Amino acid sequence: MIYDEPRYMPGGDRYMLIEFGNEMNLELNFMAQGLASAIVANKIKGVVETAPCFASMLIHYEPEDISYDDLKQEMARLIANLGPSDNIELPSRLFYFPTAYLDPWTKAAIDDYTAKINPEKEYDAAFVARLNGLSGPEQLVRVHSGTEYWVASLGFWPGLPFMMALDPRCVITAPKYNPPRTWTPQGTVGMGGASTAIYPVATPGGYQIFARIPIPIWDPKRRFAAFEDSICLFRPGDRVKFVPVSVAEFEDVERRVADGSYEYNVVGYQKFSVSQYKSWVAGLDRTKRF
Amino acid sequence: MLEVLKPGLETSVQDYPGRIGYWNQGFPPSGPMDSWSFRLANLLVGNAVGDAGLECQYMGPTLKFQRAAVIALTGADMGAKLDGQPVPLWTSVAVQAGQVLEMGAARAGTRCYLAIAGGIATEAWLGSRSTFHQAGVGGMNGSALKTGHVVPVAEGHGVAGRSVKETARPPIVTGKRWVVEVCAGPNDDWIDEAGQQRFLSADWKLSSKSNRTGFRLEGPEWTFAPKATNKPPEHGSLPSNIIDHGYPLGAINLAGQTPIILVNDGPSMGGFINPYTVPSAAFWKLGQSKPGEIYNFKQISVAEAQAMARAMKAICTESSIV
C-alpha cells in the first residue's frame, strides 16, 4: 500500500529514511525520485546527498546545518508540494543495449553452479518462464525484451542498477538463488523479485540469469564519453531497452568495445512524465503477453 | 615519496570524510574507520584534517622515506621504529631522507594512522583519494599498498615536536570490552520489546568474518514484532527481509539472524532491516576493536549522537595540540 503520510525514521546522527509505502510499485519510486529532484531544485540546506530506492528514500544530512526535526518539516513541505505523483516529471535518459539472450556465458555459470552447489537447479530461463506461466525460454525473451526498464535504484555493487519493467504486460517475478552463486559473468542480465539487474563486473549473485550485454556499465578507466561524470553509467531515473542480438553480433560489439570504437546508443535527457505514462498504462490490456 | 618495503595487512590510502555524494550510485564513502585519530594525525603535521594519509590495520607496513618529511602516528600502537629507534605516538616527528619506518603488529587498538606533512598525493577518484579495495577505486591504482609501490606525497611544512593533549586522545581500551553507542532506527519497530532489551543487554562478540565492508556480530537470537512476519510477500521470506531500501552508514543490518554493522566500505542498499544505527562519533571504537572482543550497546538519542559528533569535531582542532 501507499501510506497516506510518509514515514520518517532516523538512522544515527546523519541519516533519515523516508518510506512512502510498503510494496514494490513504480509509483512509490517516482515519488522518491520526485523528492530527490525537489531537494536539488529547492537547494535544501544541510542535505548532503539522497539515495532513492523502490519505496523509500535515504537522506544523508549535515546536522550542523539542519536539525532532524527541521529536515522532517522541510521534507513534508516538499512532499506536499509534489502533489499527486501524476504531476511529477523526472529527467531520464534511454539506453539501448544489444543483448544476447539464452547466451553461452550465463549458461556456463549456471552449469558450474549445478555441478558444484545445487544439482537440482533448473535452468534459470526455463524456471522463470514456468513460474510466470510463459510457454518457455523463447517467450521469456520476448516478454523480457518487450519493455523499457526504469532504473529505480543503484547499489549492492557500485553502478549496479535495480530496474523495473515499465510495461505492465512484461512484469515477471522470480525468486533468488538459495544458496547464491559464487560467480556471475560481467554484463549478465538477471532477475530477482520483480526487478531486473545488470552485473557491472563479475561478482557472486543471487538473481536468475538468462542474458548478457557486451557493453560496460562500469569503466574505472573512463575510456568512453558516457563515463564523463562518473565511473558508473546509470543514474536513478534512467531507462534501459534490451535489444535481442545473436552471439555473433554480441561478439562484434565486444570487439568494438575492446578497441574503443563502440558508440553508446543513448537518447539524452528528456522529461519522463508520470501522468502521460499512467494514461498509456491505463489503456493497455494487462492480460496480454508478447 | 614513501617507498613500500613491506605492505603490512591491507595498508591503505584514506582521506576524510571520503568519497561523499555517490551513495545513489552505490559508492560507499570509504575513509578512515577511526576518523578521530586520523584527523589529529593530520593536525600534528600541519595538514588540513581531511588530507590523505595511511590507515594501517593489524600489521603495519615498513616504509622508506625518499626525502625528508614530518610525520605523525596516532591510534593503535604498532611499536613503530625509525631506523630501529622507537617512534612516539601522538607526536610529530622529523624524518630524514633514506630513513626506514618499521611498524609491527597492533598492541593496544587495531588501526594506526600515519599522516605526512603535505598529505599523500595519489590521484583522486570521484573527489577522494580514499581506497575502496572491493571495486578497485582510489588509493594506489585502486588497491592497498604493495611492496615496491612509491606513494606520492605533496610538499608540506610540518613542525616536529607537536603533541596531542592526553585528554584529546581517544581512550583506546585494552580490556576487550567496548561500550558502543547506538540510536534506535530506522527499523527498531520490527523487533519486539524482548528483542530490543536483549540487544541492549547482551554481549556481542565481533566475528573474525569482519572487514571494512561489515562487522559481523555473534550473540543471542533475535525476536520480532508482528509486522516482521505479517507483511506483503514482496518484502521477502525472512522476518528480517524488507523491500530493498537505502542503508545508513553505521546501520546494524540484520541478515537473517546475523547482525552486521555496515561500516566505511559497506553497501548502500539491500533487503534487510536496520533496527539500530551506530552514530558517526562512535565509529572510532569499531575501528580500534579486534575480532573476539565484546561490544555492549548503549542506546542514545539522535540529539545526543549529534552532540557527540560536534564535541569530537571540536576536539579535532588546533586547540588539542601542544
Give residue-wise pLDDT tens across range A274-289.
Answer: 999 999 999 999 888 8
Q: Do A54 and B245 touch (CB under 8 A)?
A: yes
Interface touch B20/A49, C-beta < 8 Å: yes
Percent of chain B whose predicted confidence (pLDDT) is above 70: 100
Which of B231, B248, B269 faces A11 most closely, judged by CB atoms?
Answer: B248
Rounded to an integer, the average pLDDT of A21-34 is 92
Average the pLDDT over each of A98-102, A116-120, A250-254, B38-42 and give the range with the smallest value.
Answer: A116-120
Q: Tell me the nearest-neighbour CA distance from B212 into chain A, angstroms.
A: 15
Greater pLDDT, A81 or B219: B219
Which residues in chain B touch residue A58, judged by CB atoms under 8 angstroms apart? 23, 245-248, 269
For chain A, what is the radius of gyration of the CA atoms?
20
Is B151 strand, coil or helix? strand
pLDDT recorded at residue A1: 83
Residue A162: Cβ within 10 Å count: 27
Nearest Cα neighbor of A211 from A237, A241, A188 is: A188
Whether ipTM exceeds 0.90: yes
Which tops the pLDDT comparison, B91 or A288? B91
Grid coordinates of B128? 577522494
**Could you say which residues from 151 to 170 on chain A have a Cβ atom under 8 Å away from some Cβ of chain B?**
153-160, 162
State the nearest Cα–Cα gap between A197 and chain B, in angstroms: 13
Give residue B116's pLDDT: 98
Q: Are B244 and A9 in contact (CB < 8 Å)?
A: no
pLDDT at A2 over 90: no
Put simply, the answer to whether B251 touches A11 (Cβ < 8 Å) is yes
pLDDT confidence of A185, banded at 50, 70, 90? very high
Is B201:B65 a contact under the CB 8 Å cutoff?
A: no
A13:B23 CB<8 A: no
Least confident stretch, B170-179, B191-200, B264-273, B298-307: B170-179
Mean of pLDDT values over A105-117: 96
Give the per-residue SS3 of B76-105.
Answer: CCCCCEECCEECCCCEEEEECCCCEEECCE
pLDDT tens digits, B8-32 = 999 999 999 999 999 999 999 999 9
For helices A68-82 and B302-315, the axis angle rounded to 10 degrees is: 120
DSSP state of B58: S
Query: Mind telling me how many Å the CA of A107 is from chain B's nearest CA?
Result: 25
Phi, then psi, of B2 in degrees rounded to 5? -110, 125
Cell of A275: 501522468
Pick the CATH number of A2-84 from 3.40.50.1220, 3.30.1360.40, 2.40.128.260, 3.40.50.720: 3.30.1360.40
Q: How confident is the model at residue B173 (pLDDT cuts 50, 70, 90)?
A: confident
> Which backbone phi and psi does B207 adopt, to 5 degrees?
-75, 155
pLDDT, mean of residues A85-101:
94
**What is the 3-class SS of chain A, one letter each residue?**
CEEEEEEEEEECCCEEEEEEECCCCHHHHHHHHHHHHHHHHCCCCCEEEEEECCCEEEEEECCCCCCHHHHHHHHHHHHHHHCCHHHCEEEEEEEEEEEEECCHHHHHHHHHHHHHCCCCCCCHHHHHHHHCCCCCHHHHHHHHCCCEEEEEEECCCCCCEEEEECCHHHCCCECCCCCCEEEECCCEEEEEECEEEECCCCEEECCEEEEECCCCCECCCCCCHHHCCCCECCCCCCEEEEEECCHHHHHHHHHHHHCCCCCCEEEEEEEEEHHHHHHHHHCCCCCCCC
- The pLDDT tens digits for B51-81 are 999 999 999 999 999 999 999 999 999 999 9
CATH match of B177-315 with 3.30.750.24:
no
Q: What pLDDT shows up at residue A287?
A: 87
> Mind listing the pLDDT tens digit for each residue in B96-111?
999 999 999 999 999 9
Q: Which residues of A touch B26 (CB under 8 A)?
A: 154-160, 232
CATH class of A92-282: mainly beta
B70 close to B92: Cβ distance less than 8 angstroms: yes
Nearest to A102 by CA among A125, A130, A122: A125
Q: How far is B112 from chain A (nearest CA, A)?
A: 25
Q: Are the Cβ atoms of A231 and B302 closer than 8 angstroms?
A: no
List C-alpha distances in Å: A128 to A173, A241, B147, B252: 8, 20, 48, 33
Give A 32-91 residues with CB within 8 A of chain B: 36, 48-58, 60, 63-64, 68
How does DSSP classify residue B143? B
A232 neighbourhood in chain B, CB within 8 Å: 25-27
Q: Is-contact B62 B84, C-beta < 8 A?
A: no
Chain center to CA of B209? 16
Contacts of B171 (CB under 8 A, 6+ apart): none
Which residue carries 573512463 as its cell? A222
Identify whether the C-beta of residue B115 lies closer than 8 Å to the C-beta of residue B128: no
Disruptive mutation site among B131, B229, B302, B316 for chain A (greatest number of A CBs within 10 Å): B302
| pLDDT confidence band for A156 (50 / 70 / 90) | confident
Q: What pLDDT is recorded for position B296?
A: 98
pLDDT of residue B237: 82
Q: What pLDDT is stored for residue B175 in this prediction?
A: 77
**Strand, coil or helix: B42:** helix
Confidence of residue B34 (pLDDT cuts 50, 70, 90): very high
Does B250 sit within 8 Å of A58, measured CB to CB?
A: no
The pLDDT value given to residue A86:
81
- Do B250 and A63 make contact, defined as CB atoms within 8 angstroms? no
Residues with Cβ within 8 Å of B237's Cβ and at least 6 positions away in sequence, in order, are: none
Predicted pLDDT of residue B297: 98
Q: Per residue in B234-255, pLDDT tens? A: 888 899 999 999 999 999 999 9
C-alpha cell at B42: 593530520
Orientation angle between helical segments A68-82 and A26-41, nearest 10 degrees: 110
- CATH 2.40.100.10 residue ranges for chain B: 177-315
Which one-letter DSSP state was computed for residue B220? P
* Cβ proximity of A247 and A285 under 8 Å: no
| Subunit contact B268:A159, Cβ cutoff 8 A | no
Domain spans, chain A: 2-84, 92-282
- Selecting from A10, A195, A201 the residue whose C-beta is nearest the C-beta of B186 gives A10
The pLDDT of residue B174 is 77
Residue of B nearest to A236 (CA): B24
For chain B, what is the mean pLDDT? 96
